[in-house]
Amino acid sequence: MVAYVIIPGIDGSDGQHWQTLWERQWGTSAVRISPASWSAPDLNDWVDAVQEAYDDAAQQDRHVVLVAHSLGCWAAATWLSKNPSSSAAGAFLVAPPDPNGPAFPRQAAATFTEVPVQPLPCPALVVGSTNDPYCTPEAAAGFAATWGARWHLAGACGHINSASGLGTWQYGRELLNSGLGTDRTALKAAWQTD
């Protein structure tokens, strides 16, 4: 069985966001982070919130997969870097924003601007868009390479959020499910780079 830690971006994911729709479908198998700093993100607060959600999900005696979007990708990567011996089964990282890009919310998310990019301790899949205003495909592919993750370009989907009009984003679910087996080996085989 798999449990999911939902890690949205700034302000959380609204009711039309694929993360929220997936969370509803997963029911008690999903735990959403609850940082105190949704609108003015503080990296340490978000990483602590990932830890709390992970602890809740792991109590279900299931393999835990982090499902992150936008700024949540950086919170997930930071948490994984600080917890290399965690038993996280994998990380699904969608539309990470480029901290050096012109659209990055530097004032609102100042603590996220200097996050080091380093190899992740678990299998990961990074999904990007050809027309994401917060990150070029080249930058996202670079993050994936440094994280040791598989890179997938999903087409012209904007920031892969509610404004993209994806609904339940079935394509994304298929990408996520492509590696969900009963252990890290299945994820590694499906998600790791060749």
- The CATH code for residues 2-191 is 3.40.50.1820
pLDDT of residue 193 exceeding 90 = no
Confidence check: pLDDT of 82 > 70:
yes
Alpha helices, H only, 42-116: 43-58, 71-82
* Alpha carbon separation from 61 to 31, 57, 58, 115, 124 (Å, rounded): 14, 8, 6, 31, 21
The pLDDT score that the predictor gives to residue 190 is 57
- The answer to whether residue 49 scores a pLDDT higher than 80 is yes
Model pLDDT for residues 11-46, shown as the tens digit of each residue: 999 999 999 999 999 999 999 999 999 999 999 999
Q: Quick check: pTM over 0.85?
A: yes
**What is the share, in percent, of the chain residues with pLDDT greater than 70?**
92
Domain boundaries, the chain: 2-191
pLDDT in tens, 137-152: 999 999 999 999 999 9
Selected residue with higher pLDDT from 192 and 84:
84
